[in-house]
Amino acid sequence: MLDIKNLSASVGGAEILHDLSLSVGTGEVHAIMGPNGSGKSTLAQVIAGRDDYDVTAGSVTLDGEDLLELDPEERAREGVFLGFQYPVEIPGVNNAYLLKAAVNAQRAHRGLDEIDVFEFLKLAKEKMALLGMDQKFLNRGVNEGFSGGEKKRNEILQMAMLEPRLAILDETDSGLDIDALKAVAHGVNALRSPERSIVLVTHYQRLLDYIQPDHVHVLSGGKIVRSGDKTLATELEERGYDWLKEAANG
Amino acid sequence: MSKPDKLQSAAEQLGPDGLSDLRSRAAKKFGATGFPTTRMEDWKYTDLSIASDISVAALQDFRTDLPPSYEIPDIDAHWLVISNGSPQVGSFSAIDGVEVSLLSEADVDLQFNLPLSDLNLALLSDGLRLTVDSGVNIDKPIGILFFDDADTESLVSQGRVIIDVSKSASVQVIEFHATRGDARKYANVFVDLNIGDNARVDYARLQARDPSAVQTARLSVAAGRDATLRHFALDTGGKLVRNDLAIDIAQTGANVDFNGLYLADAMQHVDNHTRVDHRVGPAHSNQEYRGIVKGRAVWNGKAVVHEGADGTDAQQANHNLLVAERAEINAKPELEIYAEDVKCSHGTTVGQLDENAVFYLRTRCLDEEQARRLMTHAFAMGVAHRCPIDACTAWVDAHVDAALNALITEDAE
């Protein structure tokens, strides 16, 4: 599904990702862990197409298609979804309006007609129920005045509506209390499917108690320094990141 | 023949009638002062030479016999038309609870330090006085249409309306400005709104003149005890537009809320000056103006809390979105406080769209133009939704939409 080969990226002349390679198979769930400043969010943003970063080397492909050539909206329509660490508040843009515009932009890309209004509402309400979200959120401004937990649920709602091939969830667990974490994890688990790959970017192992990854990678200093199965996450929780940083530098 | 003489003879041409003496005095006074200039603090950023040029050209061959011409806007209201400065009395139909009359000399007088008012009175063919009976609730909005039509000759037009809303009455007023024709036009409009004790006025000033038109307009409000004003102003048209809104609170318990949206395209200059005088407290004033600027705009919001006006709550905000490199906004909030125990705040922002939000929307499948359009629209509607008159909502939505699309689409070219 996702193939990253020898990727280097910098911002303002400072290189943040160094020669990073990662392969995510179809239907797999990968967790990318690492200390603060290791480049986790940069990797997520580069895959989604943020133009603040310069890709200086390497390639990123989705089922063989070069993602780096595409605009962010083209990547999204092709099925790449980025769940933001800090979802943006957009006052005055109605949540339902954005969801519908997003779904329709994707449908147009696939050569489908616009979604029927009733079908859209039915679908949105179903997904909201799954996430334990009140329907009133449909008529609020996008993330406007939402609590941290509400914003993260809203991200997963958008993901559920767009049904991406590849979902990258950047620190989806940060700032959540245990109930919100469970609701978000429940939503993500419901979206696991043999056709969909999920990349969880997280600092803590806590999220992985609720969403079991197939593979765990540790990112440090802009490259992957260790990969393993879910037991690696437990080991990291016990030992911290320093031993890996040392191993990578040594 | 010098210009003051032209003005004097034009003033005479409008009579003889009950306003002749007033016109003559006003012409003489304006002759001595002339138009405000950019050397005056209040006019620092707005140069009226173009208004002066159009006036000189119009006075060269001043006409008092222009045929009426207007188009009623698609808003359900009792419309009163002032076409090329002349009230079209024949077109008025009776409104229950409202007395409409022409101005007499007893209604108006020269004002201190307002040269444009002198110009207005010197060239005023006639004005309107509306009196809303006490305690009535008028069923649908009263619309005052200022319509100017000039195809070939430069046109200067004066509008003057006095609205008295009696005690405990409730009324909605639409002040609508529109034009037709390609010739240069300068409209100079004065509206006095006196809101009686416990009365409520919802007011919308909608300005959609053509892109070559020049407008100066002043709305003066006197708020009675426990009076309520909800005001919204929209400017999308005009080459050079200057609006003054002056609100005087001399009775306790007044509650005034005034908001505005201005769109200034590359060749447009839109200036909004607001001033609220809190002479007594408690009373509450709140304003928010927003602008989307590609050309030039000015916002100057002044709140004066006079000595003894304790319990005043005065809030003001002005937010601007600059959508072109050369766009210019001069935004100036002013608070003068001479009382104790007041709650006042002001905030002004000038900026571009949040690029983080644009990226966010793009990751949600929207293309960049769609994302920018959506955010710009949301910014505008954030204040346009405060238009207090439901009958105007559809017109405002459609008009803002069209004006914004024009402003943004040109960008893409």
Tens digits of residue pLDDT in A53-87:
999 999 999 999 999 999 999 999 999 999 999 99
Rounded CA gap, B398 and B331, in Å?
Answer: 27
* Binding-site residues on chain A for chain B (CB distance < 8 A): 48-50, 71-73, 75-77, 81-82, 84, 87-93, 98, 101-103, 105-106, 109, 141, 158, 162
Query: Do A92 and B379 count as a contact with CB atoms less than 8 A apart?
Result: yes
Question: Beta-carbon neighbour count of residue B390 at 10 Å?
Answer: 11
Query: How far off is chain B from A165, nearest CA to CA, in Å?
Result: 14
Query: Do B354 and A88 count as a contact with CB atoms less than 8 A apart?
Result: yes
Amino acid at B214: V
**CA B184 to chain centroid:** 20
Q: How many residues does chain B have?
A: 413
Residue in A48, A88, A92 nearest the CB of B356:
A88
Give the pairing of strands A65-66 and A54-62.
Answer: antiparallel
Nearest residue of chain B to residue A108 (CA atoms): B365
Rounded CA gap, B366 and A138, in Å?
Answer: 18
* Binding-site residues on chain B for chain A (CB distance < 8 A): 354, 356-357, 359-368, 370, 374-375, 377-379, 381-382
- pLDDT bin (cut points 50, 70, 90) of residue A248 is low
Nearest residue of chain B to residue A103 (CA atoms): B365
Query: Do A101 and B366 count as a contact with CB atoms less than 8 A apart?
Result: yes
Query: Do B370 and A71 count as a contact with CB atoms less than 8 A apart?
Result: no
Query: Do B360 and A90 count as a contact with CB atoms less than 8 A apart?
Result: yes
For residues A63 and A249, the model is more confident at: A63
Q: Which residues of A touch B365 (CB under 8 A)?
A: 73, 76-77, 101-103, 105-106, 109, 162
Nearest residue of chain A to residue B383 (CA atoms): A92
Q: Which residues of A touch B362 (CB under 8 A)?
A: 49, 71-73, 76
Non-local CB neighbours of B281 within 8 Å, separated by 6+ positions: B252, B305, B308, B309, B310, B311, B312, B339, B341, B342
Query: Do A73 and B375 count as a contact with CB atoms less than 8 A apart?
Result: no
Nearest residue of chain B to residue A50 (CA atoms): B359
| Ramachandran region, residue B311 (left: φ > 0; alpha: ψ -120 to 50; beta: rest) | left
Whole-number pLDDT of residue B1: 43
Query: Do A71 and B366 count as a contact with CB atoms less than 8 A apart?
Result: no
Question: Beta-carbon neighbour count of residue B186 at 10 Å?
Answer: 27
Query: Do A98 and B378 count as a contact with CB atoms less than 8 A apart?
Result: no
Which backbone phi and psi does A169 adopt, to 5 degrees?
A: -110, 105
Nearest residue of chain A to residue B354 (CA atoms): A90
Tens digit of each residue's pLDDT, chain B (413 residues): 456 789 999 999 998 999 999 999 999 999 999 999 999 999 999 999 999 999 999 999 898 888 899 999 999 999 999 999 999 988 888 999 999 999 988 898 888 889 999 999 999 999 999 999 999 999 899 999 999 999 999 999 999 999 999 999 999 999 999 999 999 999 999 999 999 999 999 999 999 999 999 999 999 999 999 999 999 999 999 999 999 999 999 999 999 999 999 999 999 999 999 999 999 999 999 999 999 999 999 999 999 999 999 999 999 999 999 999 999 999 999 999 999 999 999 999 999 999 999 999 999 999 999 999 999 999 999 999 999 999 999 999 999 999 999 988 755 44
Non-local CB neighbours of B145 within 8 Å, separated by 6+ positions: B70, B72, B73, B79, B80, B81, B82, B176, B178
CA angle A143, A146, A147 (to 5 degrees): 135
Rounded CA gap, A236 and A207, in Å?
Answer: 13
Q: Which residues of B touch A50 (CB under 8 A)?
A: 359
Whole-number pLDDT of residue A72: 97
For residues A250 and B141, the model is more confident at: B141
Whole-number pLDDT of residue A246: 72
Whole-number pLDDT of residue B412: 47
Whole-number pLDDT of residue A247: 65
Which backbone phi and psi does B233 adopt, to 5 degrees?
A: -125, 135
- pLDDT bin (cut points 50, 70, 90) of residue A235 is confident
Residue in A90, A91, A102 nearest the CB of B365:
A102
Size of interface A-B (CB pairs under 8 A): 71
In DSSP notation, A167-197 reads EEEESTTTT--HHHHHHHHHHHHHT-BTTBE
Q: Residue A202 pLDDT more than 60? A: yes
ipTM: 0.96
Q: How many residues does chain A have?
A: 250
Q: Decide: B366 and A77 in contact? Cβ < 8 Å.
A: no
Q: Decide: B214 and B258 in contact? Cβ < 8 Å.
A: no
Query: Do A48 and B356 count as a contact with CB atoms less than 8 A apart?
Result: no
3-state secondary structure of B169: coil
β partners of residue B80: B144
Whole-number pLDDT of residue B410: 58
Query: Do A82 and B354 count as a contact with CB atoms less than 8 A apart?
Result: no
Residue in A81, A88, A101 nearest the CB of B360:
A88
